[in-house]
Chain A
Amino acid sequence: MNIQIILFIVLASVAAVSSVVMITRKNAVISAVFLVLNFFALAGLYLLLNAQFIAVVQIIVYAGAIMVLFLFVLMLLNTETEHKLFVDKRAIKFFSILVSAFVFVQVAYLIFFGHPSRTLTPDEAASVKAGTIQAIGQQLYTNYIIPFEIAGFLLLAATIGALVLAKKKFE
């Protein structure tokens, strides 16, 4: 067995199990910690896919910045009534799982029978080249310069919006 397959199995099972654990814990802080674990497993999978830049950004932005923000808000707000928030109605639970299973079956059907993606022959050298920060930066600063600038503006607007929303009490 090849090391890549072993790594894939380990990382994929960590990602899958941590996502399931995340939605089944009653304590929101534990959910957040398992989401961080899931993000780390995903970063490993990105490395396995030769996407080095995205793997690093995944850890810095998602596991570092966004989840710290989530944990900060969780700690800030009162979570002692957490157990009441976990839904006890069996019908809602049952139908939610039914709906999500339906979504999964649909997508899985499309993946296996929809399109002959099996015929795609991966090119290792091209894949390594596509994942480098040089290739991504070249695309970002030439073909995608306008979306890039808009993304910067969006972040500025979000910062101001978050500041305004969190600052004052709205009636």
Chain B
Amino acid sequence: MSSIPMEYYLILSAFMFSVGVAGVLIRRNAIVVFMCIELMLNSANLTLVTFSSYLGNSIGQVFVFFVMTVAAAEAAVGLAIIIAIFRNKKTVNIDEINIFKW
């Protein structure tokens, strides 16, 4: 660990976050958009673990634990919403799911 500069981990995390952003903007499948959000959460987790490890402080990892809890809850509720929308509209294309637009 000590031989690897911290910036490498942070850059990897920034890169994964940007890929997640690009995925959310490019993809039109609601489930894949959801997976891109998971990717962004994971890149944030990597940053937290990196700082926690380099500072020798376990609180960052406690926070990662909570992020994982929220991600699990979010995935369960979000996928349930997608299933409900699919039952109603027979599609998961987010361009066609625009009932909140006026």
Contacts and interface: CB of A to CB of B under 8 A. Distances in A.
**Is the pairing of A and B real?**
yes
A136 interface: yes
Interface in B57-78: 57-59, 61-62, 64-66, 68-77
Contacts of A135: 58
16 contacts: A2-B3, A31-B35, A38-B42, A45-B12, A50-B53, A51-B52, A53-B61, A54-B61, A66-B71, A74-B31, A85-B29, A87-B26, A103-B17, A108-B11, A139-B62, A158-B74
Nearest to A87: B28
Interface of B: 1-12, 14-23, 25-29, 31-32, 34-36, 38-39, 42, 45-46, 49-50, 52-59, 61-62, 64-66, 68-77, 79-84, 86-88, 90-93
Given A120-B54, A162-B80, A170-B84, A96 B73 contact: no
B39 A19 contact: yes
Nearest to A135: B58
Chain A facing B: main interface SS: helix
Interface in A121-171: 122-127, 129-131, 135-136, 139-140, 144, 147, 151, 154-155, 157-159, 161-163, 165-166, 169-170
B53 A120 contact: no
Nearest to A164: B80
B21 A165 contact: no
Contacts, number: 253
A48 B22 CA distance: 28
Q: Lowest 3 A-B CB distances belong to which pairs?
A: A126-B56, A96-B25, A158-B73
Interface string A41-53: 0100110111101
B70 to A, nearest CB: 7
